[in-house]
Structure 1
Amino acid sequence: MGLIKELVLLPFAPVRGSAWVIEQVLHEAERIYYDPATVRAELGRLEEQLEAGEIDEEEFDRREDELLDRLDIGLRGGAAPGDGTAR
């Protein structure tokens, strides 16, 4: 039955392959987005923007809260702190 199923589904192989690739790209993007090292670097850049007067205190607080939420999710999700290559 497995061979027949594979033959019937063969025309859909490119679609299944594309779905797998999209899933892998999404997973990698989320891993980088929530990586604690990435978030900490963004927090540093945000502080530099505040000190340079590029953003005001209100904007800083709003964006800092978003970044701290991302950091919390990254740490709770089992992501290891590091150089952006945590799995």
Structure 2
Amino acid sequence: MGLITGLLTLPLTPVRGVVWVAERLHEQAQQELGDPATLRRRLSEVEAARQAGLLGDDEAAEQESQLVGLLWETRRADEGRKG
């Protein structure tokens, strides 16, 4: 990058930093969502919240359905990488 280009794009530097941080956060979230242990822990938390009366049956069932779907997607992706 030349001196002129560097000076002209200098005001964009904070934006680039924010984009970089957002990309790292997205990568971390994707990694965490793809971790079967994390998904199983979240399923346990939903069940505990249901038993404690913090979640209604419908809401708990919806969350469980989403988590099980993510767990199946993760499993299929892992099998695709192995096979």
TM-score bracket, normalised by the shorter chain, equals 0.5 to 0.7
Higher relative contact order, structure no. (Cα contacts within 8 Å, ≥ 6 residues apart): 1
TM-score scaled by length of structure 2: 0.63
Residue segments in structure 2 that go unaligned for 5+ positions in a row: 79-83
> Is 1:13 aligned to residue 50 of structure 2?
no
Q: Which moved more, 1:68-77 or 1:23-32?
A: 68-77
Measure, in 1, the Cα distance between the counterparts of 2:17 and 2:10: 11
Deviations 1:28-73 (A, max 9, x none): 12322332111101122333445x3635655443322111112123
> Is 1:25 aligned to residue 25 of structure 2?
yes
Residue number in structure 1 paired with 2:65: 65
Measure, in 2, the Cα distance between the counterparts of 1:56 and 1:10: 52
Q: 1:21 is matched by which residue type in structure 2?
A: V
TM-score scaled by length of structure 1: 0.61
- Could you say what the CA RMSD is over the residues aligned between the two structures, in angstroms? 2.6
Quote the sequence identity (%).
32
